[in-house]
């Protein structure tokens, strides 16, 4: 069964027990995070809707509770994060996606978000990504964490070191949707 990844303002209004006009006003005021389709329609991502409901003490409906697999994308390059997010949002499976742009945020997100899959930029400033891989593999609470190491350049030695330090797959930037699909398949996630 396909899980919706984004909702119209009318659909969100039903979850919030308000009118669609109220959702539009909240969006304009910045209270709820929205994006616009190429046709100019407002849409709210599943993870943003769930976060909004929880922050405002609105009960989360059962069909929203199944957020699916949690994926954290750690990369200093925003286009990389955007590409992974867009690819996964189009997938039929449900994914809850978070992003971190620096070493501090990466550590915080790993500890609080507790991802199932971690896309880790091996060239992230301010952190030894190889060491982070190794340490995460040693922690019992992250025994099932699947790490996909991303590299700006193709270095066979660095790729092998990432795999030796706990990464399950590697991905060279700039990657295609097929490259992303193959990397996810290596960690047991089939995306059609």
Residue 13 domain-assigned (yes or no): yes
| pLDDT tens profile 131-181 | 999 999 888 888 889 999 999 876 778 889 999 999 999 999 888 999 999
Whole-model pTM: value is 0.67
| pLDDT tens profile 89-134 | 877 777 888 999 988 889 888 988 889 999 999 988 888 888 999 9
CA 158 vs. chain centroid, Å, equals 24
Is residue 45 located within the same domain as residue 86? no
Is residue 35 located within the same domain as residue 118? no
Number of domains forming the structure of the chain: 2
Residue after which a domain boundary falls, among 65, 93, 116: 65
Higher pLDDT, 108 or 65: 108
Structure tokens at 130: 């190889």
Ramachandran class of 12: left when φ > 0, alpha when ψ lies in -120 to 50, beta otherwise = alpha
């Amino acid at each position: 069964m396909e899980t919706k990844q984004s909702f119209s303002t009318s659909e969100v209004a039903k979850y919030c027990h308000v009118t669609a006009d109220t959702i539009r006003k909240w969006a304009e005021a910045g209270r709820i995070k929205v994006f616009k389709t190429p046709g100019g329609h407002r849409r709210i991502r599943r993870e943003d809707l769930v976060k909004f409901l929880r922050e405002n003490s609105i009960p989360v409906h059962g069909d929203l509770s199944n957020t699916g697999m949690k994926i954290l994308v750690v990369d200093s390059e925003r286009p990389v994060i955007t590409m992974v997010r867009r690819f996964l949002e189009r997938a039929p499976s449900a994914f809850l996606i978070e992003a971190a742009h620096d070493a501090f945020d990466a550590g915080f997100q790993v500890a609080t978000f507790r991802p199932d899959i971690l896309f880790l930029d091996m060239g992230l400033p301010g952190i030894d990504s190889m060491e982070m891989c190794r340490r995460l593999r040693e922690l019992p609470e992250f025994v099932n964490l699947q790490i996909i190491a991303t590299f700006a350049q193709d270095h066979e030695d660095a790729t092998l070191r990432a795999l030796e330090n706990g990464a399950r797959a590697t991905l060279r930037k700039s990657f295609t949707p097929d490259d992303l699909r193959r990397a996810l398949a290596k960690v047991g996630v089939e995306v059609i």
